[in-house]
Amino acid sequence: MNSPGVWTRVRAFARGERDAERLYAYRRAGAGLHPMLDAAERRRLDLALSGTSPFAMTSTTGLELACAWNAFALQTLADQLLQADETADPGTVGFVPPVTFDQAEAYYRDVQRWLAHATRAAHDPHFTLPPGTLPAKLPAWSPVEPCPRPHLDAMLAALNAMRLHVEAALHHVEQATPEADARRLARLSGEVQEALVKARYAADMFVPGASDTLHEQIETHAKQAIEALYRAGQLLGDPQLLDPPRSAAKAQRPPGVPLPGQLGFDPWVMTDPASVDSLKRNADAVRVINEMWALDPDPAASLALWSEIQAALRSGGAAVARQQNGTTFGFYFCTPYSAIYKAKRPLVIGDTPVPKGQRFTLECAAEGVRIGYPFKREVVLGQFKPATIDYCDPDQPPPHE
């Protein structure tokens, strides 16, 4: 694209938008992934024609397909964000709002990693990834509410492209699966069809000029559908991902750390140490920390995730994240109010891969648990910015549910 003119720059500066030069460079660099995905799909077709079941592919063939799919999906999401912003605001082409920049960059940053993995798998029959790397989760959604309307346009456009690819891949897998693998195909097909239904449902909800309330509801369904399709594409690429490795050991609570109800238990053990004293003076924070532990169905699993982060800190694999001025980010806005960390090398915390340089934290929340929502226990990846503390009410649904 041409360099933005003076007036474009003035308008963008007045709106607080950021120069998207780096994003456009990412977009150009990722344009070559489509031939790679096509080549991987041709190898899948060749195997099918030779009589090889999708459930009997070599591990590297499945790995190549799953990684190529991840690169395609992330590139599509990021490209559509840029395209939607250009369409909605042609007067500032070359600049994007900060929320759009952060979301697109999070997608683009991971494209190169998945492309590299797919290329390595295509050429090295001994290549593997750490257990738990696949199926991978999407990068975290930008924490801005409400979602800008161009973002919803981008999500729906990406959703459609992902859905069409998943439908085609499912058809190929179904055609190539022999009767002996019918039961495994049924499991795979069931999960993929569920993702496709979510995608169609989100797309059918959309109408131009939707109210703000409907816009937020469509956004919630679109996010859920994109996450489901992202996983479905990986399972179709490597159906063996349906069955986790038998050797994968369940994370264990660190020895000597008491559980709730045991002598010496500290409800603030997973909280940012620098923030504990101030949070203890906040009656609402004290209440929700105690509620979190009381409603956690498996406190040992929560402590196991926390202990993995502590082990990464001790080994130098992670450190407390710092801002450009050298200060820390403080605590994450949701329970257990954990510190924000930064991976110094590639990590896998629980079943979540954390790339080198990525910021991450721990969330264990009982929000909505008393009205039927599941307890949330996960490693959260993101850029992280100041946010209002969340008191995670167990009697209220999570936002936008």
Q: Which residue has the tokens 């859905």?
A: 163
Residue 389 placed within a domain: no
Do both 151 and 230 map to the same domain?
A: yes
Do both 29 and 177 map to the same domain?
A: yes
How many domains is the chain partitioned into structurally?
2
Do both 350 and 230 map to the same domain?
A: no
Residue 257 placed within a domain: no
Instruction: Give the chain's end-to-end CA distance (angstroms, integer).
Output: 40
CA 109 to chain centre: 13
Of the two residues 297 and 140, the one the predictor is more confident about is 297
Residue 277 placed within a domain: yes
Do both 84 and 181 map to the same domain?
A: yes
Quote the mean pLDDT of the chain: 84
To 5 degrees, how large is the angle CA 293–CA 294–CA 300? 50
Do you find a cis peptide bond into 254, omega within 30 degrees of 0?
Answer: no
Residue 263 placed within a domain: no
Position 336 scores a pLDDT of 95
Q: What is the pTM of this model?
A: 0.64
Position 67 scores a pLDDT of 93
> How many helices (DSSP H) and strands (DSSP E) are in the chain?
11, 8
Band of the pLDDT at 216, cuts 50, 70, 90?
A: confident
pLDDT at 15 over 60: no
Do both 71 and 183 map to the same domain?
A: yes
For residues 42-53, average pLDDT: 77
Say how far apart CA 320 and CA 388 lie, in whole Å.
Answer: 20
Do both 213 and 168 map to the same domain?
A: yes
Do both 191 and 291 map to the same domain?
A: no
CB distance 194 to 170 below 8 Å? no
Residue 228 placed within a domain: yes
**Alpha-carbon torsion, ordered 355, 241, 377, 198, to 10 deg:** 100
- Percentage above 70 pLDDT, the chain: 90
Position 200 scores a pLDDT of 94
Could you list the residue range(s) of the whole structural domain that residue 335 is in? 273-381
Do both 316 and 217 map to the same domain?
A: no
Residue 222 placed within a domain: yes
Residue 249 placed within a domain: no
Say how far apart CA 364 and CA 145 lie, in whole Å.
Answer: 21
For residues 346-361, average pLDDT: 88
User: Structure tokens of 53?
Assistant: 């079941």
CB distance 335 to 306 below 8 Å? no
User: Structure tokens of 150?
Assistant: 């161009």
Exposed / middle / buried, residue 23 (Cβ in 10 Å: 0-12, 13-18, 19+): buried
Do both 277 and 225 map to the same domain?
A: no
- Residues 6+ positions from 154 with CB-CB distance below 8 Å: 77, 80, 81, 83, 84, 85
pLDDT 10s digits, 295-319? 998 898 899 999 999 999 999 999 9
Specify the length of the chain in residues: 401
Do both 176 and 312 map to the same domain?
A: no
Residue 250 placed within a domain: no
Position 250 scores a pLDDT of 46
Do both 64 and 193 map to the same domain?
A: yes
Q: Which residue, of 223, 242, 261, is where some domain finishes? A: 242
Do both 47 and 192 map to the same domain?
A: yes
